[in-house]
Structure 1
Amino acid sequence: MDQTLRDASEQGNVDGLYSSIARDPKVLDNIDEIPFVDTPLHVAAAAGQTQFAMEMMMLKPSFARKLNPNGFTLLKNHKDLVCAQGRGGMNPLHYAAQTGNLNLLAKILRVCPKSIQVVTNQSETALHVAVKNDMLVAFQLLFGWLQRTWFKNAEYWQRWTLTWRDVDGNTVLHIAASKNQLQASSFYCVF
């Protein structure tokens, strides 16, 4: 990682991050190719730059799983960062639901189960995000996790998540029906 990007990461300078990307659009991809590396996400988290780290998680969620030279990942060592919200109120679980990244979804739920309770600025749960983005498999994983979870008040959170209305007044079922997603709608028959 070049010194400019390292400095931006340590200082929490999001504009500096985007300047680095403007200079070299593949700068983050090049870092991601290195097997063991301190990514800008690792550097920002170590410096306590939560906002910068969240921006980085949205741009390159694979950095959260990447091992640094000491063999540590952020998912194991910075659980609070995994639950933090970034742009638009999205947390990493929302992003993983949006992109359909099942591996990341499962890891986030294991590390930070309370992230299922977080809603975006549009009042969307991760299930809303998955259905709106036609990520049925991500929806199925989230729905199945809600049914199997054993954390305190799990039944309440299952019901709350499935009946929660976004800013337009839509539940996940409303969105699934409007998008003609019969498979997603059929899950509610089980519920």
Structure 2
Amino acid sequence: MERRLYDAALEGDEALLLELLQEDTLILDREIPSGDTPLHIAAMLGHVTFAKEILSRRPKLAGEFNFQRRSPLHLSSAKGHLEIVKHLLPINPSVCLARDEDGRTPLHLAAMKDRIEVLNELLKAKPEACWMRDDRGDTILHLCIRHNSFEALKLLVHSVSDDEFVNLKDDDGNCLLHLAVMKKQLEMLKFLLDCTKVKVNSLNAYGFTALDVLLQSPRDLKDMDILKSLLHARAMRSKDGNLGMKTNDQISGEPYHSKESNSEMDPKKKYDWIKKKRNTLMVVASLTATMAFQVGVIPPGGLWQNTSTTLDSQGNPEYRAGFSIMSSNNGVDYDTFLVCNTVSFLASLSIILLLVSGLPLHHRFSLWVLMVIMWIVITSIAYTYLISISTITPKDQIKTLDYIVGYVILTWIAMMGLLLLVNTIRLVMRLLRKFGRFIKRIIWPFSSRTNRNYNNV
């Protein structure tokens, strides 16, 4: 009979349930071998009428737990079965605070799955449940970020109007910004920075700010946007201004411009702002190197998936599996593409090497070298893009592409070249002025002695 009851719960067969109850009125009190009650199964699968029939006869089953310490409310919340949740809550609202074997409440599970309607009902029943943590020390907002539940995050932040709520930390001391940066959740990061009073420079248990976490994390295409958002919100590294010596409250309330005003007063810190750009340059160079490597390994048009059965004049296959389609169809463009992409890749690696080797950024010549290399990187990437687009564009549209894309890119490269020329002229003029002052220091003592001797005569 337990097997028949299990099948009835799986199918939501209310008629079979009534038949079994006529045969054995205590059948609902028996445990199915899996540890789930029929109500667990109905709640998980969304069989509303079946669940209502069970609750009308055995309402205490709403508070029963399976082997994972999950109640029917846990399962229905995770699956987003709103009607079943509405029937379970009035019977036993305290189950909202019940924790499963991972320490998670029904509210946690609904937030992790972005079940907005269910989340609303649970918050109405037990709003205090949103402050509970799981066994890993994660709050419900941490779980939203871990599971990319953006809508749930927004609902919870707007529902709990408490600054402390968005500044809670997990067991590793990570606040929401730390975790959003780790998970590369750009949209959530912008929401937290723009719409909440989250502490931008809060330190975790290892003494890192969110900006530290970004600069130490694996590179990603979203890194530049994340970095821009953090810097716009006045994010700092822990070593900037001895953040490790201050409390989180002091850091969050410290004006960002205070260090800049001090640097203006101290001539020795005139170029400190340039040093702060070292990490930004490292991120940009890493991203461009990654792009060049990826495009080099998989060129535009892709790779041949099999070897040609047709032979050329020398008896070799016309193309081989794993080789570039572009090199077979358009060898000249492929050679140009390969040169431009290789130049951008090596130039990006050169920037990384210079920055790692401790290039003195406070010297104008060092900045000029970095600017020249970056100009080479950008120009090469632009040409690589132009060749790639030309390769994958149909021949009947290639003329239009040449006018629209070609001239735009060439104009842009010309502007970058003009910028490079202007900065080069400025550098040369500065060097000439220094050389002139050097010559003057050498000639002046000699001319002074000559004048004195002439006057004595």
- Among candidates 185, 188, 209, match of residue 184 of structure 1: 188
What are the equivalent positions in structure 2 for 1:94-105 lying under 5 Å apart?
Answer: 94-105=108-119
Question: Does 1:167 pair with 2:171?
Answer: yes
Map Cα deviations across residues 136-169 of structure 1 (whole Å, 9 max, x no partner): 111111111112xxxxxxx3xx41x322222333
What are the equivalent positions in structure 2 for 1:126-145 lying under 5 Å apart?
Answer: 126-145=140-159
Question: Does 1:59 pair with 2:75?
Answer: yes
Rounded Cα–Cα distance in structure 2 between residues aligned with 1:162 and 1:78: 29
What's the CA shift for 1:65? 3.5
Partner of 1:16: 35
What's the CA shift for 1:73? 1.1
Amino acid across the alignment from 1:164 = L
Map Cα deviations across residues 70-124 of structure 1 (whole Å, 9 max, x no partner): xx71112311012211120000110011100000111111110010111000111
What's the CA shift for 1:3? 3.7
Partner of 2:211: none
Are 1:173 and 1:185, in contact at CA under 8 Å, matched by a contact in 2? yes
Partner of 2:395: none
For the structure 1 residues 45 and 124, does the alpha-carbon distance in structure 2 shift closer, same or farther, using more than 3 Å as the test?
farther
What's the CA shift for 1:56? 3.1
Question: Does 1:76 pair with 2:95?
Answer: no
Are 2:62 and 2:91, in contact at CA under 8 Å, matched by a contact in 1? no
What's the CA shift for 1:64? 7.0
For the structure 1 residues 45 and 115, does the alpha-carbon distance in structure 2 shift closer, same or farther, using more than 3 Å as the test?
farther
Partner of 1:89: 103
Return 5+ residue gaps in structure 1 as ranges: 21-26, 148-154
Aligned CA RMSD, in angstroms, stands at 3.6
Bigger drift between 40-49 and 172-181 goes to: 40-49
Are 1:98 and 1:129, in contact at CA under 8 Å, matched by a contact in 2? yes
State the secondary structure of the residue aligned to 2:84: coil
Are 1:44 and 1:50, in contact at CA under 8 Å, matched by a contact in 2? no
For the structure 1 residues 127 and 44, does the alpha-carbon distance in structure 2 shift closer, same or farther, using more than 3 Å as the test?
farther
Rounded Cα–Cα distance in structure 1 between residues aligned with 2:185 and 2:154: 12
Rounded Cα–Cα distance in structure 1 between residues aligned with 2:72 and 2:45: 12
Are 2:62 and 2:73, in contact at CA under 8 Å, matched by a contact in 1? no
Amino acid across the alignment from 2:143 = V
Amino acid across the alignment from 2:60 = A
Bigger drift between 165-174 and 106-115 goes to: 165-174
Q: So what's the TM-score if we normalise by structure 2? A: 0.32
For the structure 1 residues 168 and 11, does the alpha-carbon distance in structure 2 shift closer, same or farther, using more than 3 Å as the test?
farther
What's the CA shift for 1:66? 1.9
Rounded Cα–Cα distance in structure 2 between residues aligned with 1:168 and 1:116: 20
Are 2:42 and 2:50, in contact at CA under 8 Å, matched by a contact in 1? no
What's the CA shift for 1:35? 3.4
Rounded Cα–Cα distance in structure 1 between residues aligned with 2:36 and 2:94: 22
Amino acid across the alignment from 2:179 = I
Bigger drift between 76-85 and 28-37 goes to: 28-37
Are 2:55 and 2:62, in contact at CA under 8 Å, matched by a contact in 1? no
Partner of 2:137: 123
Are 1:9 and 1:41, in contact at CA under 8 Å, matched by a contact in 2? no
Rounded Cα–Cα distance in structure 2 between residues aligned with 1:89 and 1:43: 30
For the structure 1 residues 29 and 118, does the alpha-carbon distance in structure 2 shift closer, same or farther, using more than 3 Å as the test?
closer
Map Cα deviations across residues 33-66 of structure 1 (whole Å, 9 max, x no partner): 3436337788775157443483433333356742
Are 2:73 and 2:88, in contact at CA under 8 Å, matched by a contact in 1? no
State the secondary structure of the residue aligned to 2:49: coil
State the secondary structure of the residue aligned to 1:54: coil
**CA radius of gyration, larger in:** 2
What's the CA shift for 1:129? 0.6
